[in-house]
């Protein structure tokens, strides 16, 4: 059978972001087949934007870029030519910035009624915190994620090892909203405005605990239930070699298999007895210290105990399960040569079998894209000469 087109084949996205949730969103859309065009400032203003390392965000694979001075009338006019036929616009400026430039949703909707316009921000486009600056840790803090995480040694919430707000509460949130808007557009033939608030995305991630409080008045926190460290059957334990193993033996039959395998059968009938959890955890800790992590995994993983190693990054890229699933691929950069990266990983994305050519981000596609949009060649060259585009 012929290979079907990618889910977003034929969809053009204009993306103003360089880092953070919006850039995560653009990465998702590109890996689902959208034609993503990154819109940046011209070379004379490069210092005004964060320039990520070449390998970040999958090294911009499958993307193109234009650099335009949107404050110059000719630059703005050139950008509007691109926007006339775009399907999606993503921006992550402070609320009101795009409107001041004359590029807000109402401006572009008048030009292109089918455009889906996605604004990503930390706290949304309105409300008392709308213009408040923030980063991943701040959104996780305000959305309840940090408070419900288990405490570090000094009693404070831990700093997560992944940018959960940027990636899940922001990037995936925005991508999901865009997919829904594009689907609705097939019914209405109209685009729409999306106000993606990252802090609200975090709140949704912690909604089990928020809903618990709203329904019962109970205040969830670290260690308040099985998923936040209350019980010894759901924890991480250090092993003889200094490495760690994760245990998620929530169900009774998994717990029974676990305690038998580690020699702690005395706790078989006490899985959720609160008064013995400290003693049980102490015995588990002592048991796991007797063998190396990989020795324990060899016993517990096939033994139906819900155990898994706590991998370091260099370990996980060699894991046979991920390798068998084709989750890593090779990229080829014009300057930096060959290197490995995470392949398109989410369900429905097309996996790749051969090295991916990634762009040299010091070069742009400005001439090509503006010419395709109908900007005369002489006008493009003049804007290059004057530093309006790059």
Q: How far apart are CA 304 and CA 244, in angstroms?
A: 18
Tell me which residue of 246, 261, 240, 243 sits closest to 304, measured CA to CA: 261
Neighbours of 215 (CB within 10 A): 8
Q: Which residues of 240-252 are buried (b: 16+ CB within 10 A; e: fewer)?
A: eeebebebbbeee
Collapsing DSSP to helix, strand or coil, 246 comes out as strand
Q: How far apart are CA 81 and CA 84, in angstroms?
A: 5
Block residue for tokens 């109209």? 190
Q: How far apart are CA 293 and CA 32, in angstroms?
A: 37
Detail the DSSP E strand segments found in the chain: 12-15, 35-40, 63-67, 88-91, 116-121, 193-197, 234-238, 244-248, 307-309, 328-333, 337-342, 356-357
Q: How far apart are CA 100 and CA 98, in angstroms?
A: 5
Question: With contact defined as beta carbons under 8 Å apart, do 237 and 262 qualify?
Answer: no
CA angle 354, 356, 359 (to 5 degrees): 165
Q: Does the CA dihedral 52-331-16-79 come out positive or negative?
A: positive
Q: How far apart are CA 382 and CA 388, in angstroms?
A: 9
Looking at the annotation, which residues are catalytic? Answer: 135, 166
Beta strands at 193-197 and 116-121: parallel, antiparallel or unpaired: parallel
Q: How far apart are CA 373 and CA 40, in angstroms?
A: 17
């Amino acid at each position: 059978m012929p290979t079907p087109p990618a889910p977003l084949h034929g969809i053009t996205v204009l993306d103003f972001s360089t880092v953070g949730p919006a850039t995560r969103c653009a990465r998702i859309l590109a890996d689902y087949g959208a034609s993503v065009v990154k819109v940046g400032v011209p070379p004379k203003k490069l210092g005004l934007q964060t320039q990520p390392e070449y390998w970040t965000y999958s090294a911009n694979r499958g993307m193109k870029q234009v650099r335009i001075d949107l404050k110059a009338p000719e630059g703005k006019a050139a950008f509007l030519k691109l926007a006339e036929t775009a399907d999606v616009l993503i921006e992550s400026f402070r609320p009101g910035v795009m409107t001041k430039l004359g590029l807000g949703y109402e401006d572009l909707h008048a030009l292109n009624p089918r455009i889906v316009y996605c604004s990503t921000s930390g706290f949304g486009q309105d409300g008392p915190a709308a213009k408040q600056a923030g980063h991943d840790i701040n959104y996780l803090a305000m959305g309840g994620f940090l408070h419900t995480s288990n405490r570090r040694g000094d009693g404070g919430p831990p700093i997560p090892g992944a940018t959960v707000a940027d990636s899940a509460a922001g990037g995936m949130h925005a991508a999901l909203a865009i997919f829904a808007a594009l689907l609705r557009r097939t019914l209405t033939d109209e685009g729409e405005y999306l106000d993606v608030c990252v802090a609200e995305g975090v709140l949704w991630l912690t909604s089990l605990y928020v809903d618990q409080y709203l329904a019962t008045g109970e205040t969830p926190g670290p260690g308040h239930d099985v998923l936040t460290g209350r019980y010894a059957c759901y924890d991480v334990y250090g092993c003889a070699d200094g490495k760690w193993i994760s245990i998620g033996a929530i169900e009774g039959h998994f717990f029974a298999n676990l305690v038998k395998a580690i020699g702690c059968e005395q706790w078989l009938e006490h899985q959720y007895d609160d008064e013995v959890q400290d003693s049980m955890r102490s015995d588990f800790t002592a048991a796991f210290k007797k063998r190396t992590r990989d020795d324990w995994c060899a016993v517990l993983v096939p033994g139906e105990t819900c155990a898994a190693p706590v991998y370091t990054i260099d370990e996980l890229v060699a894991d046979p399960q991920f390798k068998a699933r084709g989750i890593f691929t090779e990229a080829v950069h014009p300057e930096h040569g060959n290197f490995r990266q995470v392949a398109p990983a989410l369900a429905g994305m097309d996996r790749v079998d051969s090295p991916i050519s990634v762009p040299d981000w010091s070069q742009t596609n400005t001439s090509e894209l503006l010419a395709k949009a109908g900007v005369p060649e002489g006008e493009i060259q003049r804007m290059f000469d004057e530093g309006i585009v790059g």
